[in-house]
Amino acid sequence: MRPYPGAWWGNELKSLAELGSDPNSGCGARRTPQRSTDLGSDPNSAGRANRAIGNELTAIHWDAAWLQPWRDVGEPVARQVIAGQPQPTALNTAASTLWPAPNAAPVKFVPQADLPPGMAYEKYIFKSKQCPTREGLHDFFNGLAWLHFPHTKARLNQLHMAQITRTGIAPVRGPARDALTLFDENAALLRAPDALWQALLAKDWARLFGELRPLWAQAHLVLFGHALLEKLVYPRKPITAHVFRAQPATDSIADMDAWLATRLSAELLASKPFAHLPVLGVPGWWAGNDLPGFYDDASVFRRLLQ
């Protein structure tokens, strides 16, 4: 896969505190996309709004290495949204192709307005098997995550509901729901040789990307978090994934999804079983990371705190 040739753009993922504790949110704040014009009461405004928001998706560079597992399904969905189709409709069309049998899809995508006032987002999904979906990049990638990792997304939803049942909706989520949200938003899944994983845990960047660089050919990295994928539409060197070590039987997304869904628990995620990886440092994922000095930036490739 050829490296993505873009520039250092975009904003960093907001902290969990910034993501908010809106009871209608299970995966960060349910933000309303900004529009460039006031569409007023024009009867054609809804269609123009869809097209305006769909234009966000034109910024996606589908030749980026990290998007290859998502491209076959995601690119046709993006084309439909860019052409003016509501995002939930385009995602449902893809779902009906993947699961042709009636009611076989893991969720039905519905407009955000279908979420009843005061009902928690995760609770609504759990009870109705419908996923409120806004227009724009964030929920686009969340929809793709449901289409690629249906078992894992359903498991995360179940774990959120278990916490909600236990503690209710509080102003602050607590460590278990924070961990679930962090995984959903910003996780990456890595199957790699032990030496590579240990160097990543130790933040031994010189060894990880120098001495062990050939071992990356034996590794398989898949970005899972939808906020992580959203950020990388405008790649920037400091964008960092929370990496979870995956050990499925094969590198297929279906095997990874099945393995992960049986592995995840609130207790496991609350233990913070993550390594931190600046994504554009992955060999072959960025044209500049084979140049001398790329990994010397201590503000990005930070040392492990003792």
* Domain ranges for the chain: 45-148, 186-296
Radius of gyration of the chain (CA): 19
Alpha helices in the chain (DSSP H): 16-19, 45-54, 68-82, 87-98, 121-128, 137-148, 150-167, 175-186, 194-201, 205-206, 226-231, 253-263, 266-270
- What tokens does 78 get? 């993006």
Q: How far apart are CA 305 and CA 17, in angstroms?
A: 23
Q: How far apart are CA 154 and CA 184, in angstroms?
A: 11
What are the CA-CA distances from residue 148 to residues 16, 99, 101, 144, 244 (Å)?
25, 12, 17, 6, 17
Length in residues, the chain: 306
The whole-number pLDDT of residue 168 equals 77
The whole-number pLDDT of residue 11 equals 34
Under 8 Å between Cβ of 200 and 275 = yes
Q: How far apart are CA 222 and CA 36, in angstroms?
A: 33
- What tokens does 132 get? 């409120």
The string over 190-226, giving b where at least 16 C-beta atoms fall within 10 Å of a residue's C-beta and e elsewhere, is bbbeeebbebbeebbbebbbeebeebbeebbbbbbbb
Of all helices (H) and strands (E), which one includes residue 248? none
pLDDT tens digit at each of 306 positions of the chain: 334 333 333 333 333 333 333 333 333 334 333 333 233 334 454 455 555 555 899 999 999 999 999 999 999 999 999 999 999 999 999 999 999 999 999 999 999 999 999 999 999 999 999 999 999 999 999 999 999 999 999 999 999 999 988 887 766 667 888 999 999 999 999 999 999 999 999 999 999 999 999 999 999 999 999 999 999 999 999 999 999 999 988 899 999 999 999 999 999 999 999 999 999 999 999 999 999 899 999 999 998 876
Q: How far apart are CA 173 and CA 164, in angstroms?
A: 9
Dihedral sign (CA 228, 193, 148, 263): negative
